[in-house]
Structure 1
């Protein structure tokens, strides 16, 4: 009788032991995890990413599947930095070319400063990612997002038709900063 109780107990716990040995102890991702389409879809579905299609488009390149998660974060941050620098150049040109409307000129000049700070924050995030200081990457990426959101609000306040294209470019940069922030946050969770 005692033997049957022990047998039942062992056989009832055996499936649990098998599951525990097969399943990893943590479902968190590590920087060395390989990037797959499923992983990209999973990352792009994380809040606060509000445009999954944009996120998947932004990250779906042939090179992406040869990267690990740390490399993906670096790639996203590099693309964000490059696009931010392009927007910075455009804002500088707008600020220099605007001479008749002082409010408009001031707004562009403030956005130039915002872009300089945001691009610097993205560069800082890249340095942290490359030095494997992953806990600092999301903070720097979020800082860029916060800074550039200020420029976005200023551009929307203008409500001028000729500002629309720059507001759209700014919105794209803002989404890129958000993706960088969310992706890099995964490295620390």
Structure 2
């Protein structure tokens, strides 16, 4: 195995995966419903989302309120992908210009983890338009970036900007996961 710590890291994140897979079991959201401020507030208040981040992030895009919920999920995934690519470029630059030899390996691991996260996003909603695939892709992207963070733990001289970028990307992944789960759930007939 190229990275012997990967198995250990994945096992330590299994409880996180279980936590991330838990979503509300009822949904009254229809994918064809028009996005309004009230609906966005309701969507963004679903645990475990950070409602202030979610509302601010999505409200800042003028196209948000021209979409239905299906389109909103597409926008979320598109924005996740864009931020993922920006973070990947920043991580590659940091890995190339780093002067601390203790950070060389963690930075390059983070490059790999961002490439993996973007890969999962690419094969999620963008290629399949499937809610379950989108949810799974968002969880896998979230875990990839969590592994990046894990590799950086305990190291000094890690820029605070990197920590902020990782946190922002993980919050976006969480929004994509929760939204896709909400839109895909259909209550059983009574």
TM-score band, normalised by shorter chain = 0.7 to 0.9
Choose the corresponding residue for 1:146, options 143, 154, 165. 143
Q: Rg: which structure is higher?
A: 1
Which structure is higher in RCO with an 8 Å CA cutoff and minimum separation 6?
A: 2
Gaps of 5+ in 1: 1-25
Whether the 8 Å CA contact 1:156–1:167 is kept in 2: the answer is no
Q: TM-score, normalised by structure 1?
A: 0.78
Q: TM-score, normalised by structure 2?
A: 0.77
Gaps of 5+ in 2: 1-25, 186-190
Is 1:176–2:172 an aligned residue pair? yes
| Aligned residue runs from structure 1 range 97-176, under 5 A | 97-98=97-98, 100-128=99-127, 131-160=128-157, 162-176=158-172
Aligned equivalents of 2:118, 2:30: Cα separation in 1: 26
Q: Which of the two has greater helix per residue? A: 1
Whether the 8 Å CA contact 1:84–1:173 is kept in 2: the answer is yes
Q: How many residues align?
A: 159
Q: CA RMSD in A?
A: 1.7
Whether the 8 Å CA contact 2:121–2:138 is kept in 1: the answer is yes
Aligned equivalents of 1:135, 1:165: Cα separation in 2: 32
Runs of 4+ in 1 over 4 A off after TM superposition: none
